Amino acid sequence: MLATEIRFTGARKLGQLGVAVCLFMVIGLANLPSAQAAAVVFDGKTIELEYWAGSGSNQAVVVVDFGSVSKAYGYKWDGSATSWDMLDAIDVAGSLDVTSTYFPYPLLAHLINGLTDGSDSIAESGYFGDPNSNYTGYWNSTDGMAWTSPYDYGVDGRNLTDGDWDGWSLENTGQTGFDFTPHNPPTVPLVPEPATAGICLLSLAMLGRSWQRPRIGLN
């Protein structure tokens, strides 16, 4: 009967492991963006998108990592557009509030001081040269996974192309300085794949079966 006992014990352990994965998923889903967000396929990934701004045949996405949660916002346009055009349109269209400082000629550029959506916010603090100061890090990506800094231009100088990703996160100058890669890279809010939900159901079934079966001892 030893094989029977090991089989049921193994099923119980696998079921418990699966339940742990399910609980992890539930916690992750609880930290997803607000109820108004919708599942959207962008660049081959299914993401939770807060809303679209603009109209047109081209699409780009901004990911703002607020620390406890990441939120994604979409932008559509025709012709030419910059990252500032995208941020400005998203600000006007919905819940994301963009705080910026505009520097006139000769810079003709915007400095992004902070981004806020409801109770979620990131904002620069401290002063230039302070090792404990925070700044709103601006990043670009071609796939939403690897992020780099546009060291030679800002939001006004980045000309968008269809499928672009922009990202924002709170960075500490004491950790990274003004580096070209983020210490806190933006996390794209992905929608769990159906296969993952299937694993949860299978794990629960295995756990239930192991509880229903009596333990059979050695004879």
**96 shares a domain with 24:** no
Residues facing 165 on adjacent strands: 61, 141
Cα separation values, 9 from 94, 209, 210, 211, Å: 52, 11, 7, 10
Same domain? 27 vs 107 = no
Give yes or no: residues 85 and 176 share one domain.
yes
User: How many Å apart are CA 214 and CA 219, to the nearest integer?
Assistant: 15
Average pLDDT along the chain, 219 residues, taken 10 residues at a time: 43 45 41 67 97 98 97 98 98 98 93 97 82 88 93 90 97 66 92 61 49 47
Whether residue 105 sits in one domain with residue 16: no
Our measurement of the distance from residue 137's CA atom to the centroid of its chain's CA atoms, rounded to an integer in Å, reads: 15
Verify that 142 and 209 share a domain, yes or no.
Answer: no
Residue-level pLDDT at 59: 98
CATH code, domain carrying 135: 2.170.130.30
* 80 and 168 housed in the same domain: yes
Q: What string of DSSP letters covers 130-190? A: -TT-EEEEEEEESSSSS-B--TT--TTT-B--TTEEEEEEEEEHHHHSS-SS-SS-----B
138 and 43 share a domain?
A: yes
Tokens read off for 201: 């159901």
Instruction: Please state, in angstroms and rounded to a whole number, the distance separating the CA atoms of residues 69 and 30.
Output: 10
**Look-up of token digits 């030893």:** 2
* Structural domains in the chain (count): 2
Residues 207 and 139 in one domain: no
Q: CA 200 to CA 15: how far, in whole Å?
A: 9
Query: Same domain, yes or no, for 64 and 150?
Result: yes
CB 170 within 8 A of CB 67: yes
- In this structure, the answer to whether residues 205 and 179 fall within a common structural domain is no
Helix 194-212 vs helix 2-30: crossing angle, to nearest 10: 140
Which domain does 21 fall in, by range?
1-32+193-219
How many C-beta atoms lie closer than 10 Å to residue 106's C-beta? 6
Are 51 and 147 found together in one domain? yes
Q: Are residues 90 and 136 in the same domain?
A: yes
Cβ proximity of 217 and 32 under 8 Å: no
* Whole-number Å distance between alpha carbons of 65 and 131: 22
